[in-house]
Amino acid sequence: MKRKTRRLYMVLVGLCALGAVAAIVLAALEDDIVFFFSPTEIMEKDVIPADQRIRIGGLVESGSVTKAADGVTNLFSVTDMANTIEVQYKGILPDLFREGQGVVTEGYFQGKTLLADEVLAKHDENYMPPEVAEALKKSGKWKEGEPISEALKNGHVPDDAKPAKEY
């Protein structure tokens, strides 16, 4: 084989490999990414697909956190102050999970209830996940810079709220 031909083959093989990787990546981007919605956006949907992983965020509604009869399934509502979604989560809630705090949960919808298998509360107790902040802003219930407690009629943000920390 001449050197030029060989180089051509090498380039072709490289391109094929790159194409294969691109195909895998595109397929994964199609199927394996999770869309984020606010409770209002979910409510506006006619049909909530049951086989699509969905992430929702908002504030944990005050007084909504209860346990199911089995003792380990947590029931709570996530609100953007305009609409509310009920969430079921089996397991131990994160340490920072509190009523009135921002939370992001992920799972599949069964009817109008989100069966979450992941609940994320952030490391910082006075920190608002940006998605949640946006959802609240969209619903017109919260403005940037305003203490979260203003937005929550009955919410209780810890009084010892302190400036956000960095690591």
Partner 1 sequence: MIVEIGHFALILSLFVAIVQGVVPLGASAVNNRRWMGIAGPASIAQFLLLCVAFAALTHAFVTSDFSVLNVANNSHTDKPMLYKVSGVWGNHEGSMLLWALILATFGCAVEVFGKNLPDGLKNRTLAVQALISVGFLLFILLTSNPFERLINVPMNGQSLNPLLQDPGLAFHPPFLYLGYVGFSIAYSFAIAALIEGRVDESWARWVRPWTLAAWVFLTIGIALGSWWAYYELGWGGWWFWDPVENASFMPWLAGTALLHSAIVVEKRGALKNWTIFLAIITFGLSLMGTFLVRSGVLTSVHAFATDPERGIFILILLCIAIGGSFALYAVRGPSLSGGGLFKPISREGSLLFNNWILTTATGVVLLGTLYPLFIDAIDAGKVSVGAPFYNRVFIPIMTPLVILMALGPLMSWKRTDAKAVLSRLYLVYGATLAAVVLTYILKGEDGWGGYLGMGLATWLATGVLWDIAERVKLGRTSFGESLKRLKRQPRATWGMTIAHLGLAVTIAGMTGAGNWKVEQIQVMNFGDQLEVAGFTYTFDHVRDVRGPNYNALEGTFTVEKDGKFITTLHSENRTYDTGGMPTTEAGIYTMFLGDLYAVIGDKSGDGYVTRLYWNPLVAWLWGGSLMLAFGGLVSLTDRRHRVGAPKRAKTNRAANNTAAEGAKA
For residue 148, the minimal CB distance to partner 1 (Å) is 13
Angle at CA of residue 101, ends 95 and 105, nearest 5°? 70
49 binds partner 1 (CB under 8 A): no
Beta-ladder partners of 59? 79, 102
Q: Which residues of 55-78 are buried (b: 16+ CB within 10 A; e: fewer)?
A: bbbbbbbbeebeeeeeeeebebbb
Per-residue tokens: 15: 């391109």
111 binds partner 1 (CB under 8 A): no
33 binds partner 1 (CB under 8 A): yes
Out of 4, 5, 47, 71, the residue judged to bind partner 1 by CB under 8 A: 71
11 binds partner 1 (CB under 8 A): no
127 binds partner 1 (CB under 8 A): yes
86 or 131: whose CB is closer to partner 1? 131
21 binds partner 1 (CB under 8 A): yes
145 binds partner 1 (CB under 8 A): no
Alpha-carbon distances of 5 from 17, 22, 123, rounded to whole Å? 18, 25, 57
